[in-house]
Amino acid sequence: MVNKGKVILSSEKKYEKRKTIAKSTCDLFIEKGYVNITISEIAKVAGIGKGTIYEYFENKEDIVFELMACLQESYDNTLYKKLEKSSLIQEKVIFLFDIFLSDNPTVKVQRKIYKEFLSIYIHNKTDSMKLYNEKMMDKYKNILEDIFKKSIEEKKLSKISLEFIPSIFATLQGFFIMEENKNVMLDYLNNLFKVLEIKETL
């Protein structure tokens, strides 16, 4: 569709273009960080004009949201497949927290972007960023709750396990921000499962 010489994209095409632009910024965000990059640099790596960026995004924060959403979609697709194949409680929990633990190159990239997001969130929190983070955390907490509830029904985990869900996320995220290594996080999860009377081992 054309209007006064300007192409009007359908909502679907605009959505896909947003994703393409956001994904093109991945290396730039990792290399320079959110604070240090400009809209001009983003436009350059995306291969479009600076003004065009604002046809798809309100600001840099909006681009970070879209990049996170793209990475989340990829992460979730892999996560759900792994959860379906596994019958071990601890293994499922490890899969859920792969973003902190995996040595897979793709997940490492996702981890760097997530750390950049958390840096922005901690130092320059906005209402929209707070809402986005809350929705993201709620989704993964619900997944963990489903895992725990099934384990409780199978009498493999104590009922008090559900009360630990918020603290599990807070603790692992804290370890991640403090840049503790993978073994520290795994030790925490292993010890926690012992307290919650789980008998399976990694």
pLDDT in tens, 142-160: 999 999 999 999 988 999 9
- Number of domains composing the chain: 1
Question: Does residue 201 surpass a pLDDT of 80?
Answer: no
**Which carries the bigger pLDDT value, residue 197 or residue 189?**
189
**Which carries the bigger pLDDT value, residue 57 or residue 5?**
57
Report the pLDDT value the prediction gives residue 177, as an integer from 0 to 100: 86
Domain for residue 28, yes or no? no
Whichever domain contains 65, its CATH number is: 1.10.357
Q: Which domain holds residue 66?
A: 60-195
Domain for residue 38, yes or no? no
CA distances from 181 to 95, 100, 121, 122 (A): 17, 9, 22, 21
| Angstrom distance (rounded) from CA 3 to CA 93 | 52
| Angstrom distance (rounded) from CA 150 to CA 162 | 11
Report the pLDDT value the prediction gives residue 68, as an integer from 0 to 100: 84
Report the pLDDT value the prediction gives residue 1, as an integer from 0 to 100: 43
| Angstrom distance (rounded) from CA 11 to CA 56 | 11
Report the pLDDT value the prediction gives residue 5, as an integer from 0 to 100: 46
Mean pLDDT of 44-59: 90
Reading the block at residue 47, the tokens are 């291969």
User: In this prediction, what percent of the chain has a pLDDT beyond 90?
Assistant: 40
Domain for residue 128, yes or no? yes
Domain for residue 46, yes or no? no
Under the banding of pLDDT at 50, 70 and 90, the label for residue 100 is very high
Highest mean pLDDT among 26-35, 53-62, 104-113, 140-149: 140-149
Domain for residue 156, yes or no? yes
Domain for residue 25, yes or no? no
Report the pLDDT value the prediction gives residue 9, as an integer from 0 to 100: 56
139 and 127 in contact (C-beta within 8 Å)?
A: no
Question: Does residue 122 surpass a pLDDT of 90?
Answer: no
